């Protein structure tokens, strides 16, 4: 085992795959000469050269289109967005081309491409740089959406995403790039679409994904002091979603709380709530509770931002509510 930062896990995954397949390349703003805006591609320009680690201008629609076209012609590009907020500039290439070309071509073309970068808030970055787009992209058939919460999962899932023959949205966080964790020395792959139980428990199931899951871990420690045992499931992949893992846990605990850093309307938590009431209603002993951001654009004020984001106190409160405590 070795200890690496989240950014190093991302870099390792890309580099390992690029060493074995010359059709893989990285393109994005500041990925080459600057070693990545968050240093997630450090050293890759020196190893692979400027033809495979490509600095793009500030033109997400343009370099996204180049990457989609090259994927249709035998390459396996990795597109880095400095933030998924900027992916909105190039979203036509993702939704209308990458996600649909296999079906629209009758299977003649596939699009093995990874769009990766940070999602959701990262401190005082205000409304236009603090948005979570997991549910937006997960709503589109043809896309897979991966949101790891730690370095170990990030490396294994990114390698799986790069090898996938269909487009994958891979979402990270500026606030996780410095997170450290032990990972295996050798190669490993984590399959897309498989959730992971991060903490076993018996009283309440808590489902989350991405960096906000840390608030569930904090809540679990506080609740344990009161004799309350929560089971924490990390989705890891939003689409395809591992509904079976959630249902199995709810069959044991009979209660469900969902924690998500996104707006409430049309959220991932809304989808989970529907699926569980549809497929596991008889196992529920309490209504499902969801915890999201406030239903407003993200504020710049640190005082307001603290209120806007979900936190461990919100999780504790929701768990006690479904336990009628």
* Catalytic center residues: 60, 129
- The CB-side HSE value for 316 (13 A sphere, CA atoms) comes to 14
Yes or no: say if 133 and 95 are a contact pair by the CB < 8 Å rule: no
Alpha helix segments (H runs only) across the chain: 6-20, 44-48, 60-72, 91-92, 101-104, 134-138, 151-163, 213-224, 243-253, 268-279, 302-308, 312-322
Q: Could you write out the DSSP letters of every residue in 280-317?
A: SGGG-SS--EEE---SSPPPSSHHHHHHHS--HHHHHH
Question: Given the DSSP bridges, would you call strands 237-239 and 144-146 parallel, antiparallel or unpaired?
Answer: antiparallel
- Rounded Cα distance between 174 and 277, Å, is 34
Q: Coil, helix or strand for 36?
A: coil
Residue 50 has phi, psi (to 5 degrees) of -75, -15
Both tokens assigned to 305: 């931002």
- Rounded Cα distance between 53 and 45, Å, is 6
Roughly what angle, to the nearest 10 degrees, separates helices 243-253 and 268-279? Answer: 60
Question: Given the DSSP bridges, would you call strands 144-146 and 204-208 parallel, antiparallel or unpaired?
Answer: unpaired
């Amino acid at each position: 085992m070795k200890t690496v930062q989240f950014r190093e896990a991302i870099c390792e995954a890309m580099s390992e795959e690029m060493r074995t397949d010359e059709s893989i390349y990285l393109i994005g703003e500041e990925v080459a000469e600057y070693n990545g805006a968050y240093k997630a591609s450090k050293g890759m320009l020196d190893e692979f050269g400027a033809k495979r680690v490509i600095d793009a201008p500030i033109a997400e629609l343009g370099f996204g289109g180049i990457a989609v076209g090259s994927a249709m012609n035998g390459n396996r590009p990795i597109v880095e967005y400095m933030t998924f907020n900027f992916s909105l500039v190039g979203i036509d290439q993702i939704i209308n081309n990458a996600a649909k070309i296999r079906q629209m071509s009758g299977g003649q073309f596939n699009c093995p491409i990874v769009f990766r970068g940070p999602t959701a808030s990262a401190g005082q970055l205000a409304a236009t740089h603090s948005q979570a787009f997991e549910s937006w992209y997960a709503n589109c058939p043809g896309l897979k959406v991966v949101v790891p919460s730690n370095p170990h999962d990030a490396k294994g899932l990114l390698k799986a995403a790069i090898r996938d023959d269909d487009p994958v949205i891979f979402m990270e966080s500026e606030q996780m790039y410095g997170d450290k964790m032990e990972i295996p020395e050798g190669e490993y792959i984590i399959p897309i679409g498989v959730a992971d139980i991060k903490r076993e428990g018996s009283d309440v199931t808590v489902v989350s994904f991405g960096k906000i899951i840390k608030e569930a871990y904090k809540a679990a420690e506080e609740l344990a002091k009161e004799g309350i045992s929560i089971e924490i499931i990390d989705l890891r992949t939003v689409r395809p979603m591992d509904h079976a893992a959630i249902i199995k846990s709810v069959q044991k605990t009979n209660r469900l709380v969902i924690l998500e850093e996104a707006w409430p309307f049309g959220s991932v938590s809304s989808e989970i709530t529907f699926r569980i009431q549809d497929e596991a209603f008889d196992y529920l002993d309490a209504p499902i509770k969801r915890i999201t951001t406030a239903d407003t654009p993200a504020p710049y004020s640190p005082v307001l931002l603290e209120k806007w984001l979900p936190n461990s106190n919100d999780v504790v409160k929701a768990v006690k509510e479904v336990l009628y405590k």
